[in-house]
Structure 1
Amino acid sequence: MTSRKVLVTGAAGFIGSHLVEELVRRNLTVRAFVHYNSMGSRGWLDMSPRYIRDALDVFAGDIRDPNGVRDAMKGCDAVFHLAALIAIPYSYHSPDTYVDTNIRGTLNVVQAARDLGVAHVVHTSTSEVYGTAQFVPITEGHPLQGQSPYSASKIGADQIALSFERSFGTPVTVVRPFNTYGPRQSARAVIPAIITQIAGGARVIRLGSTEPTRDFSFVSDTVAGFIAADEQRAAIGEVVNLGSGFEVSIGNTAELIAEIMGVEIQIELDQSRQRPARSEVDRLFASNTKAQKLLSWTPQFAGLDGFRRGIEKTVPWFRDPVNLSRYRTSAYTL
């Protein structure tokens, strides 16, 4: 892998920045595609160690622009495509932007990869495409259900990516992470929402629905899954779940976090944080059998013990005053 140059779209984000750092540690040449902004911010990559930042070839652009995507991809052997709009509540507000970014952005990536002869595209899906589980554990053969504009846009993006593999032989692998958590995650996600409220001094924690279950994966496991997917040619044309194989309710998650942080909390349901009733995904619980067989990937933070260890690694990062200052602990942002 050391002689390869890879492009990471969405490199400035939560999972993307962790992936970029690990790729640099593995001595790959990394071009980091970040969303252009007038302040020159590189998102979470600005917080990476100096040796990581110095190693990067940074390309500022917009995934919706096919010309910029093509320029960014020139000279790259592989692409990790993570750029997307991911906030579910905002997708109710502005669904058009999800079609433009997630579907058209993915089209731009696979079209450029096809034209430039890129050796591999690892495309990022999401467990949200399954909707509420019709059976568990959820295998890759589970029906797809667009229960939010976000999930519908990701179904479309996945199918665009896979269609290029089937139509043109573009080497595409679709990885489908379940609910990834860890340092740097946006407080729009439930685990950082709970941690930041507690770290900010709240003891009455405002949440949406507490009954749904999720299959939480620590970010280092997700990153390892992406890299394994890139290394395995047998995964081309395949969809592969990346999940811990363990489910826990939102309510129990809040209780575990409070225990680890050494506080007692009360949960107050906040209607503004709840999805429309038919849009809520009530249960997610992954089968990772295919990933274990096809990618030789096994989560290191699996089960209740692994989940506890992952939370114990996540809490100190958010408790750091420098990191906590980047979050509005008393406000809910779409």
Structure 2
Amino acid sequence: MRLDGKRVLVTGADGFIGSHLTERLVRRGCEVRAFVQYNSLGSWGWLDEAPADLRRDLDVFAGDIRDPHGVRTAMTGCDVALHLAALIAIPYSYHSPQTYVETNVIGTLNVVQAARDLGVERVVHTSTSEVYGTARFVPITEAHPLQGQSPYSASKIGADQIALSFHAAFGTPVTVIRPFNTYGPRQSARAVIPTVISQLAAGAREIKLGAVHPTRDFTFVSDTARAFEALAECDTAIGQTVNAGSEFEISIGDTARAIIELMGRDAAIVTDEERLRPEASEVERLWADSGFMRSLTGWTPDYGGGDGFRRGLQQTIDWFSDPVNLGRYKTDRYVL
């Protein structure tokens, strides 16, 4: 199936990955209905910053993913649903776990139920590498056991299984994409890379972080967006769960030091107790095997390996270093 000429619903279109994906789809000529979270300000999130001509081409639906009637209304007339709407902050999931079940699990149920009833041609549901927990073997394939080490990851395991169950039980054409740690312009400063960049850009001489020894597989946002497109167009991916990662492993500490070097700053890394996860909840190691994605779609990351990672970091630094962009972040405090 090709996305060209299709009407595509993107839930979570106002967010970090969702806004990049939405813009990409509009530029390639798709009719995009952007599902954004309703708010009294009428904000479309990051889509408010999109070029005016792109915004004119958007069909924006403001609602709540927890509302089955709103989800069904938004999906009516759409051929494809790319489901990204979710609560994703791990620290906040310790604070308010019920909201993660309601948004991530029930929200996903609403999406696949509407897709089933409306005969949607394809659903791509967003998972997360956090569902694997600390790696038992590396690189991590889709066969790795699932381990809910935080309320967030547990809610995503539940959401994934709801989505896949609709394929098994009803033949709903669902694919689960499992991105590893996506980074890039517009990301929340709750994530480690924007945390480091925004503190440095604001002039900090001490960078406050949680644990720096865990390793991650960081994937640039444009690569993640391309992975969504590739899986949405891949008929053989229906019913499958597919990793999308850069296949490059680096520690949080080495990531912070790379950013300090690229920004030409002199700064120390200090531990902020408030930013530490509970010991058994910390995911110690994530490193993707994206071989299944390659075999299905031919997708490979443009920002893979150490060189690609530094290129992605530089683009992210450049974006955050713009005073207009940096001004949107509260660099003087830790935000859950």
Give the structure-1-normalised TM-score.
1.00
**2:95 alignment partner in structure 1:** 93
Is 1:104 matched up with 2:101? no
Identity of aligned residues (%): 68
3-state DSSP of counterpart to 1:185: coil
1:2 shift after superposition: 2.6
Which one-letter code corresponds to 2:58 in the other structure? L
For residues 118-148 of structure 1, the C-alpha deviation after alignment (integer angstroms, 9 at most, x for no partner) is 0000000000000000000000000000000
1:330 shift after superposition: 1.5
For residues 6-39 of structure 1, the C-alpha deviation after alignment (integer angstroms, 9 at most, x for no partner) is 0000000000000000000110000000000000
2:35 to 33, 36, 60: 33
1:265 to 260, 263, 267: 267
1:280 shift after superposition: 0.1
2:165 to 163, 166, 183: 163
Q: Distance in 2 between matches of 1:66 and 1:295?
A: 32
1:217 to 219, 241, 263: 219
1:68 to 63, 67, 70: 70
Q: Distance in 2 between matches of 1:249 and 1:265?
A: 18
1:47 to 46, 49, 53: 49
3-state DSSP of counterpart to 2:102: helix
Which one-letter code corresponds to 1:318 in the other structure? F
Q: Distance in 2 between matches of 1:222 and 1:302?
A: 12
2:291 to 289, 292, 313: 289
Alignment of 1:18-29 (within 5 A): 18-29=20-31
Alignment of 1:65-214 (within 5 A): 65-214=67-216
**1:6 alignment partner in structure 2:** 8
Q: Distance in 1 between matches of 2:6 and 2:12?
A: 19
Gaps of 5+ in 1: none
3-state DSSP of counterpart to 2:176: strand
1:210 shift after superposition: 0.2
1:229 shift after superposition: 0.3
**2:316 alignment partner in structure 1:** 314
Which one-letter code corresponds to 1:146 in the other structure? G
3-state DSSP of counterpart to 2:261: helix
Give the structure-2-normalised TM-score.
0.99
Which one-letter code corresponds to 1:155 in the other structure? I
3-state DSSP of counterpart to 2:243: strand
Q: Distance in 2 between matches of 1:108 and 1:239?
A: 20
**1:326 alignment partner in structure 2:** 328
**1:236 alignment partner in structure 2:** 238
Which one-letter code corresponds to 2:52 in the other structure? R
Q: Distance in 2 between matches of 1:223 and 1:69?
A: 22
1:52 shift after superposition: 1.2
Which one-letter code corresponds to 2:290 in the other structure? N
Q: Distance in 2 between matches of 1:10 and 1:267?
A: 33
For residues 230-277 of structure 1, the C-alpha deviation after alignment (integer angstroms, 9 at most, x for no partner) is 010000000000000010000000000011101121011001001000
How many positions carry a matched residue from both structures? 334
**1:16 alignment partner in structure 2:** 18
Gaps of 5+ in 2: none
**2:247 alignment partner in structure 1:** 245
